[in-house]
């Protein structure tokens, strides 16, 4: 029992190292330990108190082995992310700052708070996709770029405000009518919708909110973000749900992503948005398809997306999933464009935000081969 308590303290120490180095800790690779909105140290403590296999009172050989493996995985995770380049570390620090903001959200972390976090993540994404990082800029140039980004984010927020004002003018009736009002304003009135695109020619524009509002063209992921942002302003809470492809998405290894042809890049995940109503025991949930701007009941949603899995997920976990998919989309875009350095930059951001990302397997194998 003394040994497992020692391992627990070493895990907490490692979590402090993540915080010290401004590296996101969203979970532990190859384990079911996930970050909660309360923070990594609280999550580790709850994991040890609530998980039978590592509960300190158990102290069995099996529980000690599980705890030791958890520590080894966490330390490997930290080492890999620490050994990234300066631009990647700066990007990881940006996501870490955003995660810390979520820890400080007062009261219950609900789906409205999650929508705000999705918007903040979209702003961070836009900032991190600027052509030059601060590494390559003099201080005055970096300040000027930061001002441009801040101005663009303010203009984007104002545009979302205006869309929400229009939704509010006709926001009445039952939940289905409210979703239809939202789709009417965004898709049919302002014609912000999905159109086929190619990363090679369009760059990251289909992924970024400022560009979507300007070009009126987006992809499922970014349109889902836009609908969440407008809905929050209109008093609606939408839950973003990724739709798994049949058989799963086959991810390439980091080496393959960096050096293979653009055809290797997987296709983006489709998304649905589920309407959440506080205190409702609605038997039939309602969904909004951000690509078709269609309101669907559960039967229609499952018919359209047979792989739809309605998993119980906390708002904070949904936010991390959405942020991670943003990083994955940026990685895919750069891979399609043959931009290897940018692929690596976004791959490590994805890995930090999603400890279940398949890219971890190859990264761990590569790390062990160098030891």
Host domain of residue 76 = 2-81
Q: Are 53 and 4 in contact (CB under 8 A)?
A: no
Contact in structure between 328 and 350 (CB atoms under 8 Å): yes
Scanning the structure block, which residue is given the tokens 């929400």? 164
> pLDDT at residue 57 above 60?
no
Structure token pair of residue 321 = 């999933």
Q: Which residue has the higher pLDDT, 99 or 35?
A: 99
Distance between CA 334 and CA 258 in Å, rounded? 10
Q: Is the pLDDT of residue 301 over 90?
A: yes
Q: Is 75 in the same domain as 180?
A: no
What is the DSSP annotation of 358-371?
THHHHHHHHHHHT-
**pLDDT top residue among 45 and 245:** 45
pLDDT score, position 246: 55
Mean pLDDT of 308-322: 85
Which pLDDT score is estimated for 60?
52
Same domain, 33 and 155: no
pLDDT at residue number 133: 65
The pTM score is 0.90
Residues 269 and 320 in one domain: yes
Q: Is residue 97 part of a domain?
A: no
Co-location of 171 and 265 in the same domain = yes
Q: Choose one of 35, 63, 81: the last residue of a domain.
A: 81
CA–CA distance, 342 with 178 (Å, rounded to integer): 40
**CA geometry: angle at 131 spanning 130 and 137, to 5°?**
95
- Which candidate, 201, 218, 241, places its Cα nearest to that of 333? 201
Same domain as 159, residue 291: yes
Tell me the per-residue pLDDT of 156-207, one tens digit each, with 9 for 90 and over: 999 999 999 999 998 777 888 999 999 999 999 999 999 999 999 999 999 9
d(CA 325, CA 308): 17
Dig out the tokens for 309 from the structure: 């899995």
Q: Of the ranges 211-215, 267-271, 288-292, which one carries the lowest mean pLDDT score?
A: 267-271
The number of domains in the chain is 2
Q: Residue 273: what are its φ and ψ, rounded to 5°? A: -120, 125
Q: Is the pLDDT of residue 349 over 60?
A: yes
The answer to whether 183 and 295 are in contact (CB under 8 A) is yes
Cβ partners under 8 Å of residue 197, min gap 6: 205, 206, 217, 219
Cα 137 from Cα 193, distance rounded (Å): 36
More confident residue, 269 or 132: 269
The structure tokens 């999905």 sit at: 194
CB 288 within 8 A of CB 238: yes
The pLDDT tens digits of the residues spanning 212-255 come to 999 999 999 999 999 999 999 999 999 999 998 654 334 444 44
Residues 128 and 243 in one domain: yes
Of 186, 278, 198, 173, nearest to 230 by C-alpha is: 186
**Residue 327 resides in a domain:** yes
Q: Pairing between strand 294-296 and 193-194? A: unpaired
Which pLDDT value is given to residue 173?
77
Q: Are residues 164 and 276 in the same domain?
A: yes
pLDDT of residue 247: 43
Same domain assignment for residues 147 and 276: yes
Identify whether residues 51 and 120 lie together within a single domain: no
Please give the Cα distance from 41 to 333 (Å, whole number).
Answer: 34
For residues 42-53, average pLDDT: 80
Q: Is residue 180 part of a domain?
A: yes
pLDDT at 355 over 70: yes
Residue 87 in any domain: the answer is no
Q: Is the pLDDT of residue 267 over 70?
A: no
Is the confidence at residue 279, as pLDDT, over 80?
Answer: no
Across the chain, what does the average pLDDT equal? Answer: 87
């Amino acid at each position: 029992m003394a040994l497992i308590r020692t391992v627990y303290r070493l895990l907490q120490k490692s979590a402090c190292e993540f915080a010290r180095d401004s590296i996101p800790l969203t979970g532990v690779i190859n384990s079911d330990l996930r970050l909660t909105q309360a923070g990594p140290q609280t999550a580790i403590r709850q994991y040890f108190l609530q998980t039978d296999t590592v509960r300190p009172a158990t102290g069995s050989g099996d529980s000690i082995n599980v705890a030791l493996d958890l520590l080894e995985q966490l330390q490997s995770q930290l080492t890999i992310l620490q050994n990234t380049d300066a631009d990647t570390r700066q990007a990881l620090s940006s996501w870490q700052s955003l995660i810390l903001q979520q820890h400080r959200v007062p009261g219950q972390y609900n789906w409205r708070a999650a929508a705000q976090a999705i918007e903040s993540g979209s702003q961070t994404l836009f900032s991190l996709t600027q052509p030059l990082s601060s590494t390559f800029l003099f201080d005055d140039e970096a300040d000027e770029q930061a001002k441009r980004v801040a101005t663009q984010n303010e203009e984007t927020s104002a545009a979302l405000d205006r869309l929400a004002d229009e939704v509010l003018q006709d926001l009445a009736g039952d939940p289905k009518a409210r979703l239809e009002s939202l789709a009417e304003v965004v898709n049919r009135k302002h014609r912000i919708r999905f159109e086929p695109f190619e990363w090679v020619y369009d760059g990251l524009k289909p992924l970024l909110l400022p560009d979507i509002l300007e070009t009126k063209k987006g992809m499922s992921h970014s349109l889902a973000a836009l609908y969440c942002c407008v809905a929050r302003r209109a008093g609606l809470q939408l839950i973003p749900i990724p739709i798994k492809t049949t058989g799963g998405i086959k991810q390439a290894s980091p080496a393959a992503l960096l050096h293979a042809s653009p055809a290797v890049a997987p296709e983006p995940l489709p998304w649905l948005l589920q309407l959440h109503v506080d205190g409702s025991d609605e038997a039939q949930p309602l969904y909004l398809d951000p690509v078709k701007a269609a309101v669907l009941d559960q039967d229609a949603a499952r018919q359209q997306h047979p792989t739809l899995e309605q998993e119980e997920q906390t708002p904070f976990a949904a936010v991390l999933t959405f942020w991670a998919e943003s990083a994955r989309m940026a990685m895919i875009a750069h891979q399609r464009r043959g931009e290897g350095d940018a692929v690596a930059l976004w791959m490590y951001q994805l890995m930090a935000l999603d400890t279940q990302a398949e890219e971890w397997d190859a990264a761990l194998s590569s790390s062990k081969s160098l030891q």
